Structure 1
Amino acid sequence: MYTENTVYIVGNAKTNVDNAITIRFNSFYIGFVVDLNTDKILDLNSSSTLKATDEFIRSLLINRSLKVFDNELERQVIKRYHGSSQRAIIVAYKDGIKKYNEIKKKYF
């Protein structure tokens, strides 16, 4: 399904103690599939507990860059996502960027 031009990166974030994600997974994760040629997010899944949440997060992040932080994405998350993991989405995205750039520098 994925070509050799792709890598898989996991961004991590903490969520609120009373968040269902914390109870189930202990943290919030987003797994990104990224195209090394374009730095674009091709696919992803998150450790959300609801299918609609995962699909909504996907709609916000697909085709965004994992090379540099996208300020417009942060604005969209704040404006449109009103769940308790709002901040965790942004933090996991930032963590994914950090890991992606480290891996790309080291191996590619």
Structure 2
Amino acid sequence: MYEKETIFITGDAKSSQNNPITMKFSQYFLALVVDRRDGKIIDVDCSATVDLTIRFVKSIFIGRHVDDSSIVEDITNRYFGSSQKAMVVAFQDALKKYQAITALSK
């Protein structure tokens, strides 16, 4: 399904105690499939309890470059679910992993 040049990266964060995601998964996870050659986000998934959430999260990430500094801004301006802060932290965690991986391959 994914080309050989894609990589899978996850980021995680704590979500608030009263969040259904915390009750179901204990943490918030964001998973990204990224094209190693250009950093384009090919696919994304997250720990969510509602399918609509996953579809909306996909609309924020897919097709963008993982290093796009406006992604965090889009999350804070468009996503008003209870895990908004956790999503930002999880994305930043995944971004650090991506940067470490690409630094090794240079």
User: TM-score w.r.t. structure 1 length?
Assistant: 0.90
Runs of 5+ in structure 2 lacking a partner? none
Verify the 8 A CA contact 1:69 1:94 in the aligned structure 2. Answer: no
Q: Does 1:94 align with 2:64?
A: no
- Equivalent position of 1:104 in the other structure: 102
Query: 1:106 corresponds to which letter in structure 2?
Result: L
Verify the 8 A CA contact 1:9 1:33 in the aligned structure 2. Answer: yes
Runs of 5+ in structure 1 lacking a partner? none
Q: Does 1:83 align with 2:81?
A: yes
Secondary structure at 1:45 match in 2: strand
- Equivalent position of 2:72 in the other structure: 74
Percent of pairs with identical residues: 36
Q: Does 1:6 align with 2:2?
A: no
User: TM-score w.r.t. structure 2 length?
Assistant: 0.92
Secondary structure at 2:37 match in 1: coil
Aligned residues: CA RMSD? 1.3
State the Cα distance separating 1:41 from its structure 2 match. Answer: 0.6
Verify the 8 A CA contact 1:33 1:43 in the aligned structure 2. Answer: yes
Provide the C-alpha distance between the structure 1 equivalents of 2:11 and 2:65, rounded to a whole number of angstroms.
Answer: 14
Number of residue pairs the alignment of both structures matches: 106
Structure 1 consecutive aligned stretches of length 4 or more whose deviation exceeds 4 Å: none
Verify the 8 A CA contact 1:32 1:41 in the aligned structure 2. Answer: yes
